[in-house]
Structure 1
Amino acid sequence: MYQTLKIKRTLDILLSLLGMIVASPFILVFIIAIKFTSKGPILFKQKRIGIHKETFNILKFRTMRIDTPSDTPTHLLNDPDQYITKIGKFLRKSSMDELPQLWNIFVGDMSIIGPRPALWNQYDLIEERDKYGANDVYPGLTGWAQINGRDELPIDVKSKLDGEYVNKISFRMDAKCFLGTIKSVLKSDGVVEGIRSDSAMEEVASSEEQVSK
């Protein structure tokens, strides 16, 4: 009933709109900080897997320098820290780089709660999620897997947790994920800098389409 009556989608629209309004002063500060502390665009977009494995472009604040080696995953760089901007370190650690995804939620690419969207070429994760029906729901800004390990989880465990979420989708489950996310972000639980399992090709300079506005 929660999904059938579109209660979940209605909440996504209302809460993402409210989130953009409330966060607008912080968003403005981040835009100014990014623009004046490093060369390059403020935002970047990256092709991700959405509901029913249709692709969409996810938005994030840029956190890395434009001279980062192209087509190289962050965790394969010799010293990834040297490419992360000063404001980028804060944005990544606090997950504030995800704020632009409120727009993705508002327009219907994503939900507030759901499996984190896989990159288009994370074939192993996509295939594993197929076993649990996790590719047949809207991906989320955060989800059940994110409050149960986040970046530390191997693909098979993450996929099982995503499947568990799919089987238990409800207002109560979403509320539990939402509150758990706040706790995880405040404690920085499960964040592994340079190796972010939900973004294995995190912000690669020439393999993503930059947004200059």
Structure 2
Amino acid sequence: MKQVYRTTIKRILDAFFGVLLLICLSPLMLVLAIWIKLDSKGPVLFKQERVGRNGKRFTIYKFRSMSDDAPHQMATSEFDTALSYITRSGRLMRKTSLDELPQLVNVVKGEMSFIGPRPLIPKEEKVLRLRHANGAESLAPGITGLAQVRGRDEVTDTQKADYDGEYASNVTLRGDFLILVETVLTVLARRGVHDGKVNNK
């Protein structure tokens, strides 16, 4: 049953709830898009190449939360002065994770899942190698995942990969539901979130 959920049911649920949430949240997403456009120069959406299932590259979508002159091909955790790039609208979106809403499109397209290892940029080679070794690379990356509810920006790269591997070895409906609930609680409490460079090696 676990294998059926992992290979079939999980994807069906992702597609169904992805479309449903896009429809239900479209008014909110429209308001956010207008606010972003009025708040600062630049596009509404931030697009970046990420590494997906089995190393396949794809374009991730987010609401732009930083000024258009911010470095694009690096993780925010590597910025020395990330706060100086964050826009007014971006502060609220990052606190509430509303900037992640456009990733529902990635979920519907099958490039991402609601739950899974977070999609990495290609230069995050250390974690990518560790994921390849522990089997996490075989999963579609998620909007949230086990590492995000176990510390998010506060855990090391090795710990993140370990959590990803732990999740990959036991993908279940119950486990995904618990991660989803923990994610909501984590976002509300804003635990483990840091805007800027952290020592995560």
TM-score normalised by structure 2 residue count: 0.91
Partner SS for 2:46:
strand
Superposed displacement of residue 147, structure 1: 0.6
For residues 70-119 of structure 1, the C-alpha deviation after alignment (integer angstroms, 9 at most, x for no partner) is: 76764565533222110011111111111000000001100110000111
Distance 2:173 2:142 in 1: 14
In structure 2, stretches of 5+ residues that fail to align are none
Aligned to 1:204: none
Out of 106, 109, 114, the position equivalent to 1:107 is 109
Amino-acid identity (%): 42
1:145-156 alignment runs, 5 A limit: 145-156=147-158
Out of 116, 130, 133, the position equivalent to 2:132 is 130
Distance 1:155 1:44 in 2: 24
Partner SS for 1:2:
helix
Partner SS for 1:67:
coil
Aligned length: 197
Higher helix content, 1 or 2? 2
Aligned to 2:6: 3
Distance 1:197 1:78 in 2: 11
Does 2:91 align with 1:52? no
1:55-204 alignment runs, 5 A limit: 55-68=57-70, 74-75=76-77, 77=79, 79-195=81-197
Distance 2:113 2:152 in 1: 18
In structure 1, stretches of 5+ residues that fail to align are 199-213
| 1:196–1:120 CA distance, 2 compared to 1 (3 A) | farther
Alpha-carbon RMSD = 1.9
Aligned to 2:30: 28
